[in-house]
Structure 1
C-alpha cells in the first residue's frame, strides 16, 4: 500500500502473485470443484450458499470458520484488484484471461460458496479493463468461461459475475450470454438470438393435480421450466446489451410473439407446480421490457417521395 499511494523509484518492485500461487491459496481454503448443480432456480439472482438453506428466522449465524473463510477470500480478491490497479501492464493478456477464468471457477466452487460476490465482481471488472488487445480477446474469453460448468444455472451465474457498469463488461455480458445459449441448445456459437431453437412446454391441458402425473414426467416438466428460466434470463441480457437496429426490431417483435405464445399462453399453472409460476412471471416481465424497447426503438415509418425519382 505504501508503494501504491506514494511515489516510488523506477527500480522499485511490487510483488504480484502468479497464477499457481493464487490457485494454491484458493485450494488451501477449500476449493475443489465448480460442478455445483442446484436442483431449482433460486428466488433471487446469484447462488444460495449451503449455510443459508438451514436458516430459520435469522436465528442461525455464521460459524467462526465461515467468517474466517469469508474474510480470507475477500482479502484475496481485494489484493488482486490492488495488484491489477498498481501494475495494469505487468500481466499479459493470456495470463489475464487465465486469471479471470480461475476466479470465475472459484466463484462457482462449492468449497468457496462464501466467496464475496462484490469483491469478485470488482476484481473481474479491473482485469477486464487491463486487457490490451480488446476486443480481440473477447471471443476467446467467452469460449473459455462457457466451459467452466456443464449446468445452465452456473453458466448464468458466470454472466452475472460481470455487472453492466462498463462498456467492456456490457459487451462481454451480451456475447457470453449468446455463447452460453448456443452451448445449452447444442448450436454453433454464432447462432443469432432470434433464431434459437424453440424450448417450450407441451401445450396440451394439464391434469388437475401434479401428483397424478408420472414421476418421470413431473421431473421433466420441472427441468424444462428450469432450463427455460435460465435461457430466458440470458436472452434478456443479450437484448439489454445492445441497441436495436431496424432489422432487429422486427426480429425482436417476432420473439415477443413467440414468448407470448409458448410460455404466457400455453403453460398451465397449478399450486403444485410453482416452477411454472416463476417462469410465467419472468416471461411477463421480459415481455413488458421488450415491448418498451420496441416502442423506444421503433423505426421511422417509410414513405414514398415523388422527388426520389426525379
Structure 2
C-alpha cells in the first residue's frame, strides 16, 4: 500500500473476492463464511436460534431478504463440504443479478465499489432462466424450511381445509387419540354373529306420530279438460258467437287471456252452460286456464247487477271434486253420501311420484281446493237458501273427508275452514241437525288419529263450532271405546262433562290393549304402543270436550272428578323406560291436560278450592 500524500488520494484495501463489503452481506447469505466476521459465541447462539425455529415450525417464517440471496445457512451445516457446495450453487444463481448491478456503477473509481441501495433492491427483479429458477426453488425448499412463499402458504391452507373436511365427514371414525382417523369399508357386510347381537339388543324409539296418517282421497288421475256444449245457445253478440264456435283449445285460450270476463260484462247475462263449463274447468290441476278468476269476476258482476250469483248444485260440486281426482266411494259405501255425488270411477290409480314432484302436486292440489272453497263460500253467503240443511250436512261431511287427504296433511287450508264455518252458521234447525252431523263425521275414517284431525279442522270461533267440537269428540270417544253413541249425546246444554266422566275411566293403556287386540284382525307388532297411541288420541278428544270456556257452578264437581280419574289412570301407575318413549309422550300430555283443568278450576270463586295436585310416581 502507498501512504497518502497531500494532494494524492488515500489508497484503500481492495474489495473482497466476492465483490461485497462485510456490511453488505446479509446474515442468512452464504456468499462468505461468517467465521471471520463474528465471534464463535455469536455464531453458536445464532445456530441454536435457527434450530429452535426449525423444531417449532411457526406458521409464518422470517421475512424475505432484501437481496435475492440464496437461503443456504452456513451455520446450520457444521461441515465444510455442505457450506462450499451451497455457496457455489448460490454464486451461479446470483451472479447475473449482481453483475448487472455493478455495471451501473461508474468505472475508474478507486474507492470501494458500493452498489446503490436502489440497485440492490431491484437486483432480485431481473428475469431468470427456467433452469436457474428451478435450481433456486430446489435450494429454497430443501435447505431452508423457514422461508415462506405464496405457493407453500396456499398449499398449506388447502391441506388444512381437506383435513377439516375429512374430520367432519361421517365416514371417518376416530379409533383413539393416538391412532389416525380411518374410513370403514361400507361394502364389507357384518358377520352373522354381529348382526344377531345388534338385533338382540337394538332399541326402537317407538314414538307416537305427530301427524295423522290420512286417507287416500285424491288417488285417481284427474280427468282432461271438459268440452263446452254450446248446442242450442243463441249468441248475444258477434264476439260471443265467435267464442261459441271456436275449438276447445281456442276457448281455453280465450278464458286464459281474460277475454271471457270482459265479454260477459258487455252482454246482459252469461248462459248457464258456460257457467257450468267454467266450474268444471276449475278442476284442472294445476289451473292453467285461469277459470277461477273468470268465474269469480262473472259472479261478482252478477251480484252487483242481478243481485244473486250463480250457485252450483250439490251434484255439480261432487262431480267437480271427482274430476279433480277424489275417490268418494268409501263415503257412499257407508251411506254418508248419495249416489249422485259418487259417480263410478273407472280411472286407474295415480302412479307414485318422486318427492319433489309430489310436493309440487300437493301445493297445486291445495291451491285448486282453496279456489273451489272460496267460490262456494261466496255462493253460500250470498244465497243461503240455495243450500238447505240436509245439503249442508252432506257438504260438511264431504269437505271434512277431503281434508283428510294424505297430500294435504301438512298444508294449511284456511279457505276450507272458512267454508265449513259458513255452512255451520247457515243451518236453520241446529239442535235437530247436530246429532246427525256428529254421527256422520265420526264415520269418515276408521283411524282414531284421523278423527282427531277432523275435530281440529272444524272452526271454533263461534258457539256452534265449539259445541260441534265437544259433541263430536264425545261421539268419537264412544265409538273408539265400543260404547253406544246414543248415550253420549246429552239432550241439555253443557252436559258433556258428565258423559265424559264415564268414558275417561276407560283410557288406561292396560284396558285399551285388550280392546286393540280384539279389534285388530292381525296382531300388532307392539300392542302396548298401539294402546298408548289410542290413549293419546282419546286424551286429546277429552281435552276438546272440556274446552277453554269458564265453567258453570254445576260443572265444577264433574271437572274435579275428571282430574281425579286422570291422576289415577295416567299418573303414577304409568311406568316409563328407555325404550318406551310413547309412554313418556302420553304422560307428558296427561300432565299438560291436568294443569289446564286445574287452571279452569282456579278461575272460580276464591272459596272454591281446586282438587289435589298431580301426584308424582
TM-score by length of 2: 0.40
Offset at residue 171 of structure 1 (A): 0.9
Structure 1 residues 34 and 297, CA gap change in structure 2 (3 angstroms): farther
Does 1 or 2 have the higher relative contact order (CA < 8 Å, sep 6+)?
Answer: 1
1:9 aligns with 2:306: yes
1:29 aligns with 2:337: no
1:285 aligns with 2:592: yes
Deviations 1:184-203 (A, max 9, x none): 11113333111114221349
Q: Give the unaligned 5+ runs of structure 1.
A: 36-53, 204-215, 302-310
Rounded Cα–Cα distance in structure 2 between residues aligned with 1:109 and 1:184: 21
Query: What are the equivalent positions in structure 2 for 1:109-124 lying under 5 Å apart?
Result: 109-110=405-406, 116-124=412-420
My pick for the range that moved more, 141-150 or 23-32, is 23-32
Structure 1 residues 114 and 264, CA gap change in structure 2 (3 angstroms): closer
Counterpart residue number, 1:210: none
Tell me if structure 2 keeps the 8 A contact 1:152–1:230.
Answer: yes
Offset at residue 243 of structure 1 (A): 4.6
Rounded Cα–Cα distance in structure 1 between residues aligned with 2:424 and 2:370: 19
Query: What are the equivalent positions in structure 2 for 1:257-276 lying under 5 Å apart?
Result: 257-276=564-583
What CA RMSD, in Å, does the superposition of the two structures yield over aligned residues? 2.7
Offset at residue 61 of structure 1 (A): 7.9
Counterpart residue number, 2:535: 228
My pick for the range that moved more, 288-297 or 189-198, is 189-198
Match of 1:23, SS state, is helix
1:98 aligns with 2:382: no
Rounded Cα–Cα distance in structure 2 between residues aligned with 1:130 and 1:107: 21
Counterpart residue number, 2:314: 19
Offset at residue 65 of structure 1 (A): 3.0
Tell me if structure 2 keeps the 8 A contact 1:34–1:106.
Answer: no
1:199 aligns with 2:494: no
Deviations 1:276-296 (A, max 9, x none): 111111100000000111121
Tell me if structure 2 keeps the 8 A contact 1:31–1:111.
Answer: no
Rounded Cα–Cα distance in structure 1 between residues aligned with 2:388 and 2:606: 43
Rounded Cα–Cα distance in structure 1 between residues aligned with 2:328 and 2:529: 26
Tell me if structure 2 keeps the 8 A contact 1:78–1:123.
Answer: yes
1:147 aligns with 2:147: no
Counterpart residue number, 1:171: 467
Structure 1 or 2, whichever has the larger Rg, is 2
1:244 aligns with 2:554: no
Deviations 1:68-117 (A, max 9, x none): 22221111111111111211222111101111111111112346657642
My pick for the range that moved more, 105-114 or 116-125, is 105-114
Counterpart residue number, 2:286: none
Tell me if structure 1 keeps the 8 A contact 2:421–2:465.
Answer: yes
Structure 1 residues 157 and 113, CA gap change in structure 2 (3 angstroms): closer
Offset at residue 31 of structure 1 (A): 1.9
Structure 1 residues 9 and 79, CA gap change in structure 2 (3 angstroms): closer
Rounded Cα–Cα distance in structure 2 between residues aligned with 1:73 and 1:115: 11
Rounded Cα–Cα distance in structure 2 between residues aligned with 1:272 and 1:266: 17
My pick for the range that moved more, 181-190 or 153-162, is 181-190
Offset at residue 232 of structure 1 (A): 0.6
Tell me if structure 2 keeps the 8 A contact 1:269–1:276.
Answer: yes
Rounded Cα–Cα distance in structure 1 between residues aligned with 2:326 and 2:533: 27
Offset at residue 227 of structure 1 (A): 0.8
Tell me if structure 1 keeps the 8 A contact 2:438–2:475.
Answer: yes
The number of residue pairs the alignment matches comes to: 265
Match of 2:367, SS state, is helix
Counterpart residue number, 1:40: none
1:297 aligns with 2:297: no
Match of 1:108, SS state, is coil
Counterpart residue number, 1:158: 454
Structure 1 residues 115 and 31, CA gap change in structure 2 (3 angstroms): farther
Deviations 1:230-277 (A, max 9, x none): 111111111116653333312211211121122121122223222111
